[in-house]
Structure 1
Amino acid sequence: MGRAEAAIALLVLVLLAASLTWLARRYALHRQLVDQPGERRSHHVATPRGGGIAIVLTVLLATLAAAFCFPAAAPRLIVFAVGLLLVAGIGWWDDHRPLPALWRLLVHMLAGALLAGLAWQATGNLLQAVLVFLVATALVNLWNFMDGINGIASSQAVVAALGLAAVMPAPYAFAPLALAAACLGFLPFNFPRARIFMGDVGSGALGYLLAAFVALASVATDINWLALLVPLMAFLVDAGFTLLSRMLSGQRWMEPHTQHVYQRAVKAGASHTRVTGVYILLGFSGSAVLVAIASLPSLQQGGVAVAWGGLLACLWGVMRVRLRNH
């Protein structure tokens, strides 16, 4: 596929995702799938949810097209699609009728195991397969935790996908670009004003997809695993350290809350647009760091990744102290 054809295909995916989001909003309003404002939420207006199904369907259609264009890769693409359907399906169910957290986690682990199996089959490296499983299970849940204000989850997926695409060879790079296109079709309905929320069907799927593309990049390139996580680091730090602090303080960490730094910033008076914009800047910075270090030796890549994570962790700590009363 040439650059012109790829550009046209990506534009089609943007328009498809936008159309499907519009339909998802009509469906949510018809079924009264609406998130009400509350103490543990960061919005103040009742808003329909479940718009992330548009991203899922767009990526699935792109996967079907890829399987048609590359028949040799079709079995692996089918396994990937099954994992996506599992994560999105349990999220769609939860959007309609809330499920116990353990059930969702078991499905997420099953999807992660499918990705891990693909990594093992591609590399024969058991350690890499275990890493894929852990990263996939973690990202599915962390992306759900971080989907709490307008535009933040989908915009971070866009910048992370662009960063991963920039260091991947063709045709592999088209996979994260397809995700970025699908998110760009959804984003105008969710940012700066939210006319529909992504819902669990979308947030969990984004975590799964980004884990899949990190795994794909680890197979298609020689880049250090830690370096591949740099574009995701803003979310990993905020979600990870907030989760750890809740666990250490004895709180019920699986319950909804508004203790992430991005949520505290909104409670302190910052607008959704401003806070999401800061995270977009951090995401683009992380993607730029990944591109800059991609040609370095693996050990140096890992060192820079650890330093970047440490910098963001320090920033998280400073903001946590400044926003401790919110």
Structure 2
Amino acid sequence: MLTLILMALVAAVVTFGFSFIIRRLSHKYRLYPKIRERDVHTKPTPRLGGIAMFLGVVAAFFVASQLPFFEIVFANPGPTFAILGAAFLIVIVGVADDIWDLDWTIKLAAQLLVAGLVAWQGVQILSLPIGGLTVGSPAMSFILTILTIVLVMNAVNFIDGLDGLVAGVALISNGVFLIYSYLLARETSPSNYFNLASLIAAIIVGACAGFLPFNWHRARLFMGDAGSMLIGLLMATGAIAVTGQIDPATLSRSELLPAFLPIILPFAILLLPLADFTLAVLRRLRAGKSPFTADRQHLHHRLLDMGHSHLQAVLILYSWTGVVSVGFLLFFILKPYGIAVIFLVVGTILCTFLTLAPLTRRQRREHRVQETPGDDVFAEFDPLDAASNTFTDDIPLPSEKDIP
């Protein structure tokens, strides 16, 4: 585990250093787009943080390749090179989109290409813990893997709307996934605890930790589509790699839940992105629009509209991620499962309370507005909401002398 922590540290340090450099260069050469209608920030901010995260990922993979602990991971270098090549391609497409706002069809085609590259080199869904069945055929495994990677990339990209949201959610969920994949490796491969899934999880944790200081509210640097799609790609490949670590057919009925965990837990840590993605697609299709049409009705936008501040909304979504991820991890660690069930139930109740708490304050404010229509301007202002940063007035672009 200490070696995995070292890989996370390498990714964090490199990402942090390049985030500082990229932020300075972006301001110097004005590499930031105009504020869009759906954005909640009010100051033009660089969106090239994904480049720094990619460089941190590459550095960590390189260091790992030089260590004997990860010899089994790099014994067959094809999957690793495919992941890095796919990451490079998706970052290039993401940077282009962050600068020129590409059409969604171009991004989707690029996502299918990189997913196909990863699947082609053997990072595929090999088994599904459903009655001890494996995936029906190589072709089915290939297609299912591509669809999963594309789904996760878009799901993570969809929630990237608040300062620190994607980086924090990915850090929490992959921290839990790192523990799970490491413990799973101890059970399935006692002679070697180091595997591709654990390495990817550790690197994601490090890259997000190194980037988060620049992305915390109020953000000085955004990861952009390059960063969010990169995280989605790596999370998907890590989750897919786990499916080859356990043979459901060898498990008894008493081990039924552990057999399902290789699939359940990756979806659990992705619950927030997948839920937001599903709701967004259904909402847009019902309105007769493309499922990739941007809008301002994501879960994080709804939390702001409910009365939460920017920071409160982010912390609430962190809480949901932590409760679900840790709750399902406890099913793997603890027996009997009563403690895990209690944790999930109590955590869900607390998160629900935190999510709905501002409704009363919002209702009181709306009631005051109705009672005193002549004082609408003053009645609608709540100092507790001042940190929500939801104003849409443009701020003049900074000059070079104003940039630290």
Using structure 2 for the length normalisation, give the TM-score: 0.69
1:213 is matched with which residue? 238
1:58 maps to amino acid: G
2:308 is matched with which residue? 270
Bigger Cα displacement from structure 2, 212-221 vs 177-186: 212-221
1:263 maps to amino acid: H
SS at match of 1:119: coil
Cα drift, residue 201 of structure 1: 0.9
* Aligned mates of 2:20, 2:9 — CA distance in 1: 17
* Aligned mates of 1:37, 1:121 — CA distance in 2: 40
Segments of 5+ residues of structure 2 without an aligned counterpart are: 128-133, 186-192, 247-258, 367-389, 391-404
In structure 2, relative to structure 1, the CA distance for the partners of 1:40 and 1:104 (3 Å cut) is same
Asked if structure 2 preserves the Cα contact closer than 8 Å seen for 1:232 and 1:286, the reply is no
Within 5 A, what are the aligned runs for 1:89-238? 89-117=92-120, 118-120=122-124, 125=135, 126=138, 127-168=140-181, 169=185, 170-172=193-195, 173-221=198-246, 222=259, 223-238=261-276
In structure 2, relative to structure 1, the CA distance for the partners of 1:131 and 1:293 (3 Å cut) is farther
* Aligned mates of 1:131, 1:164 — CA distance in 2: 21
2:243 maps to amino acid: S
2:245 maps to amino acid: A
1:83 is matched with which residue? 86
Asked if structure 1 preserves the Cα contact closer than 8 Å seen for 2:126 and 2:243, the reply is no
Asked if structure 1 preserves the Cα contact closer than 8 Å seen for 2:10 and 2:60, the reply is no
2:315 maps to amino acid: G
1:257 to 279, 290, 295: 295
Cα drift, residue 39 of structure 1: 2.2
Q: How many residues of Structure 1 are paired with residues of Structure 2 in the alignment?
A: 308
RMSD: 2.9
1:63 is matched with which residue? 61
* Aligned mates of 2:274, 2:38 — CA distance in 1: 21
2:279 is matched with which residue? 241
Cα drift, residue 256 of structure 1: 2.0
Residues 228-262 of structure 1, C-alpha deviation per residue, up to 9 Å, x if partnerless? 21011012112211221121122343222110121
In structure 2, relative to structure 1, the CA distance for the partners of 1:7 and 1:167 (3 Å cut) is closer
Residues 13-61 of structure 1, C-alpha deviation per residue, up to 9 Å, x if partnerless? 2221111111111122123122433421111222111112111111122
Cα drift, residue 122 of structure 1: 6.8
In structure 2, relative to structure 1, the CA distance for the partners of 1:121 and 1:65 (3 Å cut) is farther
Bigger Cα displacement from structure 2, 265-274 vs 275-284: 265-274
* Aligned mates of 1:288, 1:130 — CA distance in 2: 30
Cα drift, residue 76 of structure 1: 1.7
Asked if structure 2 preserves the Cα contact closer than 8 Å seen for 1:67 and 1:74, the reply is no
The answer to whether residue 91 in structure 2 is matched with residue 53 in structure 1 is: no
1:178 maps to amino acid: I
SS at match of 1:47: coil
In structure 2, relative to structure 1, the CA distance for the partners of 1:84 and 1:219 (3 Å cut) is same
1:247 maps to amino acid: L
* Aligned mates of 1:214, 1:115 — CA distance in 2: 13
In structure 2, relative to structure 1, the CA distance for the partners of 1:270 and 1:45 (3 Å cut) is farther
Residues 96-130 of structure 1, C-alpha deviation per residue, up to 9 Å, x if partnerless? 22222111111101111123232349779434443
Question: Considering only CA atoms, is the larger Rg found in Structure 1 or Structure 2?
Answer: 2
* Aligned mates of 1:120, 1:224 — CA distance in 2: 14
* Aligned mates of 1:239, 1:122 — CA distance in 2: 25
In structure 2, relative to structure 1, the CA distance for the partners of 1:146 and 1:29 (3 Å cut) is same
